[in-house]
Amino acid sequence: MAAQTIPHLALRFVAFLLISRGNSEAVTMEYENKLVLAPMVRVGTLPFRLLAADYGADITYAEEIIDHKMIKCERVVNEYIGSTDFVEKGTDNVVFRTCNQEKNRLVFQMGTSDAVRALKAAQIVCKDVAAVDINMGCPKSFSVSGGMGAALLTKPDLIHDILTTLRRNMDTPVTCKIRLLKSSQDTVELARRIEKTGVSALAVHGRKVADRPRDPAKWNEIADIVSALSIPVIANGDVFEYDDFERIKVATGASAVMVARGALWNASIFSPKGKIHWEDVKREYVRKSILWDNDVKSTKHTLKEMITHYSCLELPEGKALIKSENLADLAKVYGEEEYFRLVSDNRFSLNGH
């Protein structure tokens, strides 16, 4: 069990529930000097976003959700855990979960290849998030084969259609995230065209579609984009320590800095006080997953990614993690049985059971 006492955890749990059920005023998204959690599929769910925010992330991107999936959803206020859920109609499948306490910093990222469908999906969620972002950088086959993600980079007319459609029909800020094109000049030209659609900001991953994670990010090419635009640019690529936030900011001139793998391996990268031990970060993530009833497959995937960076799954922890079938099992693996019981008991009492 972590050092926190059970009474303290109980008070914290009640506070979380009260905050999440309160009303929060909409705030205009600001990008100057902001630290940003990048969108990561199967990782950027509610517990991980709140974890990153606790450590200092100013803006948190959700994992990419495909527009086809979102338009099948209905908005449901989940009184049981104090969240807002977007549930696939006719099922219990929660496609996207958020809460009021992250509303003013949350960016909903969407995969799309069609302006009308993108707008329909965005309108379902736009009142519960701070901004809507279009993924134009994912190189994975599931995204590209559907004409989404990096496939959009070669379709500037479609990019223009999607972004202008969203901008004209929503009050919510619209942004997008791209990768570098074959030449710096090509990327700058695309970025300028994107800027003309009226987006609030542009995130740039400093790698080309064919680049692998081990290839160094081209900060100089991000700098070319920054100097060509007047809107905020969010620089992404090769940020693994807190000091890297300032290094890439100075090198590129970007307004904000986004981190993916560095945050996945240790979300306390956002803390100006320095990283805390990854074992403590991992346990806090498990507690947040319990608190927000996160999908166990998502939680296990994220924990596996954390473990394999520092260790391996063949050790007892990894084997126990793989065998875990639910959050109660995970609580046992990480010595959080008492926290699991506390959350369950308080949840029932707060909901009149």
- Please check the confidence at residue 304 and state whether its pLDDT lies above 90: yes
CA atoms within 13 A on the CB side of 322: 10
Looking up tokens 């100057």 gives: 32
With respect to residue 273, please indicate whether it lies within any of the assigned structural domains.
Answer: no
Flag whether 2 is in a domain: no
Residues taking part in catalysis: 138
pLDDT of residue 17: 42
Number of domains comprising the chain: 2
Is 163 within the bounds of a domain?
yes
Q: Do 204 and 298 sit in the same domain of this protein?
A: no
Last residue in a domain, options 221, 242, 265: 265
Residues 131 and 249 placed together within one structural domain of the fold? yes
CATH code of 101's domain: 3.20.20.70
Nearest to 221, CA basis, from 235, 211, 210, 231: 235
Are residue 257 and residue 290 in the same domain, yes or no?
Answer: no
Residue 261 covered by a domain: yes
- pLDDT tens across 161-219, in order? 999 999 999 999 999 999 999 999 999 999 999 999 999 999 999 999 988 889 999 99
Same-domain check for residues 209 and 333: no
- With b for 16 or more beta-carbon neighbours within 10 A and e for fewer, the 304-315 pattern comes to eebbeeeeeeee
342 located within any domain = yes
Q: Which residue has the tokens 């991000």?
A: 222
**Do 187 and 292 fall into the same domain?**
no
Mean pLDDT computed over 318-343:
97
349 pLDDT exceeds 80? Answer: no
Cα 160 to Cα 119: distance, rounded to the nearest angstrom: 13
Q: Do residues 260 and 285 both lie within one domain?
A: no
For residues 175 and 54, membership in a common domain is answered with yes
Query: Residue 76 in contact with residue 57, Cβ under 8 Å?
Result: no
Last residue of a domain, one of 265, 286, 317: 265
Containing structural domain, residue 230: 34-265
Q: Is the pLDDT reported for residue 27 higher than 80?
A: no
Which residues have a Cβ under 8 Å from the Cβ of 33 and sit 6 or more positions away? 249, 255, 256
Q: Is residue 196 part of a domain?
A: yes
Tens digit of pLDDT for each residue in 30-82?
999 999 999 999 999 999 999 999 999 999 999 999 999 999 999 999 999 99
Task: For residue 136, list its beta bridge partners.
Answer: 178
> Please, what is the Cα angle at 206 between 205 and 212, to 5 degrees?
90
Give the position of tokens 């902001």: 34
Question: Of the residues 265, 289, 304, which one is the last residue of a structural domain?
Answer: 265
